Amino acid sequence: MFKAIYLTKNDDGGTVAEVKDLTEAELPEIEGAVTVAVDYSTINFKDGLAITGKSPVVRKFPMVPGIDFAGIVHATNHPKWKIGDEVILNGWGVGESHWGGLSQYARVSGDWLISKPTSLSSKECMSIGTAGYTAMLCVLALERSGVTPQHGEILVTGASGGVGSFAISILSGLGYQVVASTGKKNEHEFLVSLGAKEIMDREIFSTPGKPLQKERWAGVVDTVGSNTLANACASTKYGGVVTACGLAGGMDLPLTVAPFILRGVSLIGIDSVMASKDVREKAWNRLAKDLKPSVISEIAKVVNLQEAIEIGGDILKGVIRGRVVVDVNG
């Protein structure tokens, strides 16, 4: 028997989340299956949506949520993996359409796993988690587009959240001047400690603005969407690059084409879920190289499976600072 967060639907169509004892025989079958003894998982915004049922991210019930995990191969039918290998997983629909990592054991396709970077512990990998990996995908996109520290300031929105915190830390470590937009007055000191050189109130971005505004940003990491992303595009400098990865403020995008056709601004979509193995390995290798261990532990706090259910609701309220790591054996 092992423990997992187990999601079911009640008679009213609401989602019920509980910590339940399961057996290995109940884990879903899949081609090239690898069963992983999970060390750590995390609570991401999407896990909050799954646990609360606030948005239909879960494709079938019952479901074990958890879009990422780190652990050790316990059994394998996949040629790449052997028992005892240390692995990590992000995305691939795990925790949405396939049982996920908020569990002491997970059975997934071996094609979805990558090796854990040797210089990072399982706990550090999940402290970084999908949020840090997504932040790195944004940074890699800015670099690929030729945005260097010499080009000017980078705006990070949703700054105190998981993606935002890691984006600030990575970018400032690489020498970029980072401006952080946050709704949390009590987290200014934290954001400065991560490397933000200026803090802006998120209200400035979250109300509707003009199609073209004063040019300021060489690059943007946006985790919020909606008016915030529209205003960020409208205030990006000529030739600047905006990376869009989130929807914490809404799914809509009330934007005009003006920034693109008059200022040559690029808007780049970032997806962590279906990114290729090469892209994942590149991002994780850079995370292992570019992040300081002290920053990783500063950004993350650890909870157990039962506590994770409550945190699932809190993350949607935008009240969590940094990352929540789940010790599934805690």
Ligand X SMILES: NC(=O)c1ccc[n+]([C@@H]2O[C@H](COP(=O)([O-])OP(=O)(O)OC[C@H]3O[C@@H](n4cnc5c(N)ncnc54)[C@H](OP(=O)(O)O)[C@@H]3O)[C@@H](O)[C@H]2O)c1
When binding is defined by CB under 6 A, the residue of 246, 255, 312, 328 that contacts ligand X is: 246
Q: How far is the CB of 167 from ligand X (least distance, A)?
A: 9
Q: How far is the CB of 3 from ligand X (least distance, A)?
A: 24
Compute the distance between CA of residue 199 and CA of residue 189 in angstroms, rounded to an integer.
10
| Residue 243 found at the interface with ligand X (CB under 6 A) | no
When binding is defined by CB under 6 A, the residue of 122, 160, 231, 235 that contacts ligand X is: 160
Q: Which long-range contacts (CB under 8 A, 24 or more apart) does 45-50 make?
A: 45/161, 45/162, 45/246, 45/248, 45/315, 45/316, 46/95, 46/96, 47/95, 47/102, 47/312, 47/315, 48/311, 48/312, 48/313, 48/314, 48/315, 48/316, 49/316, 50/7, 50/15, 50/95, 50/96, 50/312
**Torsional class of 95: left (φ above 0), alpha (ψ -120 to 50), beta (otherwise):** left
Q: How far is the CB of 308 from ligand X (least distance, A)?
A: 14
Site for ligand X in 183-202 (CB under 6 A): 183-184, 202
| Residue 221 found at the interface with ligand X (CB under 6 A) | no
Q: Which is nearer to ligand X, 220 or 247 (CB)?
A: 247
When binding is defined by CB under 6 A, the residue of 50, 131, 255, 299 that contacts ligand X is: 131
Helix (H) or strand (E) holding 70: strand 68-76
| Residue 95 found at the interface with ligand X (CB under 6 A) | no
| Residue 66 found at the interface with ligand X (CB under 6 A) | no
Q: List contacts with ligand X (CB under 6 A).
A: 44-46, 130-131, 134, 158-164, 182-184, 202, 206, 223-224, 228, 245-249, 270-273, 315, 318, 320
